[in-house]
Amino acid sequence: MLLVDDDILLHQLLEVYLCEHHYHLDWLCCGEDMDEFLQHQTPDLILLDIMLPGKDGLHWLSWLKNNHNHIPVMLLSAKKSAEERLQGLEFGAEDYLTKPFHPKELLIRIRNIMRRPPQPHEHGIYRIGNNLFDLVHEQLERDNKLIKLTTQESSLLQFLCQHAGQILTRDSISHAINGNEHQPLNRSIDMTINRLRKKLGEDTASPRHLCTVWRKGYRLTLAP
């Protein structure tokens, strides 16, 4: 996640708070630095202040929607006018939060955005951290190198991408990728998940993207 705001105290507060809730926060103090940053990283969400030094947040929101439209943006502003809020939403922001705000409200809004059905990149390409998954051609790529997937791994990753952000039970996953051969309580899904985590470059002890939801199932997060 990326915060673009010249308020260093806000950055320090949110960095600690969001880290406690398992979110990593990068920080830029002005919009002019976003171009270089986004050439190397793709955040899952940008928190963008409107009252930035130089060009304001609405300018950078328009720039983001023209150049990085797949990245959701939440606007932050001390201004409370309905006109500015509507303008921000018309420019394509996913949400708008006025300052000062309670960190828990920000967290709830972040989670709500993360739960929304993801939009694939052009040509059906999904970004999962440093990986790119081409759903149409069933190809996984990282650092310009193709990573070989088995048929079951590819089917599983397709299903997870199409339902990213949702908690999926083991049985629903098995039924989706095995069809009529689905067997309730089939534990082979767990083995396929573990293999897929390794191919995605995940820390299998503490995965960031393909996570186990205790007693419920699995969830894939399309995040950097």
| Model pLDDT for residues 32-51, shown as the tens digit of each residue | 999 888 887 778 899 999 98
The pLDDT, as a whole number, for residue 13 is 93
| Mean pLDDT of the 60-68 span | 85
CA distance 214 to 85: 38
Count the alpha carbons within 13 Å of 12 in the hemisphere toward its beta carbon.
3
User: Residue 183 pLDDT > 60, yes or no?
Assistant: no
pLDDT band for position 206 (50/70/90)? Answer: confident
> Are residues 172 and 69 part of one domain?
no
CB 103 within 8 A of CB 13: yes
Q: Residue 11, SS3?
A: helix
- Mean pLDDT value across the chain: 84
> Are residues 209 and 134 part of one domain?
yes
Residue where one domain finishes, among candidates 115, 143, 170: 115
> Are residues 148 and 99 part of one domain?
no
User: Residue 80 pLDDT > 80, yes or no?
Assistant: no
Task: State the residue range of the domain holding 195.
Answer: 125-220
Is 120 inside a domain boundary? no
Sign (positive or negative) of CA dihedral 45, 49, 55, 61: positive
How many separate domains does the chain show? 2
> Are residues 137 and 40 part of one domain?
no
> Are residues 183 and 81 part of one domain?
no
CA distance 139 to 211: 21
Residue where one domain finishes, among candidates 62, 96, 115: 115
Q: Which residue has the tokens 């985590």?
A: 197
Residue where one domain finishes, among candidates 70, 92, 115: 115
Is 75 inside a domain boundary? yes
